[in-house]
Amino acid sequence: GAVVSQHPSWVICKSGTSVKIECRSLDFQATTMFWYRQFPKQSLMLMATSNEGSKATYEQGVEKDKFLINHASLTLSTLTVTSAHPEDSSFYICSARPRLAQTYNEQFFGPGTRLTVL
Amino acid sequence: SQKIEQNSEALNIQEGKTATLTCNYTNYSPAYLQWYRQDPGRGPVFLLLIRENEKEKRKERLKVTFDTTLKQSLFHITASQPADSATYLCALDGTTDSWGKLQFGAGTQVVVTP
C-alpha cells in the first residue's frame, strides 16, 4: 500500500515549451501533496504545498506563475512548468500525505520525474 | 542562517560492519527528524522517524539517535550489506507552521563492499 506514482518518469522538451507532470496516490486519498526539486548532488528543496481544492502555497523564491500546481482531486496533483528554460532542468519529486494518516507527518514519495530542457 | 549538514564524502564500508552517518543542523528546532534512503534516479523512501523527546529509535538493523542539545542525529546501519548501498537523507519536520514541509540535508552516499 501507500504507493505514489509520477508521470512521466522523464521528459525532454525544447526551451519555451510547457511541461506537465502528474503525481498520483494510487491506493489512498491525499489531502496534501508536496512538490520538491532536486539538482544533482543537492538536497531536495520544497517548492510548494498543494491542498486538494485550494490554491497551492509556494516557498519563498519559487515563481507561482512559472510552476503551476493543480490539486483537483484527492488522488491527483499536477505541476506544470511553463515556458521551460534549461535552468529548469532538474529532478522533480512529489510526496503525498494520506487523508487518514496515522501520524500527521506521514507522507509517501513518488519516484520522481527527470526534466531536461534543451 | 539555517543549515542541515550531512557528510558530503561517500562512506565506504565493508560488508558486516556498522555504518554511522551524521546529520547536524543549525538554527532549526525540529519536532521530528526523519531518515530516508534514496537510490539513483529514484524518490526517497522513508526509513525512520524520531521525535524531539526521544533519544533513540530502532528498526531491524537501523538505529537513530537524536540529541536536540547538540542539534545532531546519528544514523547507524549495523551488519551492513551491499544492498544497503544508497544515499541516505536526513529531513527535519515541524520546523515551520505547517507539518510535513520537510527540510532535507544533501545526503551521504554509503557504499558497502563485499
Rounded to a whole number of angstroms, the distance from the CA of A63 to the nearest CA of chain B is 18
Q: Does A111 touch chain B (CB under 8 A)?
A: yes
- C-alpha to C-alpha distance for B95 and B100, rounded to whole angstroms: 9
Q: Cα dist. A46→B2, B34, B64 in Å?
A: 15, 15, 24
Question: Given this model, what pLDDT does residue B100 score?
Answer: 73
Answer yes or no: are the C-beta atoms of A114 and A91 closer than 8 Å: yes
Rounded to a whole number of angstroms, the distance from the CA of B41 to the nearest CA of chain A is 7
Q: What percent of chain A has pLDDT over 70?
A: 95
Number of CB pairs < 8 Å for A and B? 58
Q: Are B43 and A112 a contacting pair at CB < 8 A? A: yes
How many CB atoms are closer than 10 A to CB B29?
A: 11
Q: Tens of pLDDT along B9-22? A: 899 999 999 999 99
Which of A82-86, A103-107, B8-12 has the least mean pLDDT?
A103-107
* Closest chain A residue by Cα to residue B90: A43
**What residue has cell string 502555497?**
A57
Q: Does A46 touch chain B (CB under 8 A)?
A: yes
- Of A5, A2, A94, A84, the closest CA to residue A48 belongs to A94
Instruction: Classify residue A100 by burial, with Cβ atoms within 10 Å: 0-12, 13-18, 19+.
Output: exposed
Residues 6+ apart with CB under 8 A from A60: none
Q: Tens of pLDDT along B34-78? A: 999 999 999 999 999 998 899 999 999 999 999 999 999 999 999
Q: Does A2 touch chain B (CB under 8 A)?
A: no
Q: Tens of pLDDT along A14-57? A: 999 999 999 999 998 988 899 999 998 889 999 999 988 888 99
User: Three cell numbers at A93?
Assistant: 519529486
Q: Are A42 and B106 a contacting pair at CB < 8 A? A: yes
Q: Are B100 and A42 a contacting pair at CB < 8 A? A: no
Q: Are B101 and A49 a contacting pair at CB < 8 A? A: yes
Question: Given this model, what pLDDT does residue A54 score?
Answer: 84
Nearest to B100 among A32, A112, A114 (CB): A32
Rounded to a whole number of angstroms, the distance from the CA of A79 to the nearest CA of chain B is 16
Nearest to B41 among A4, A104, A114 (CB): A114
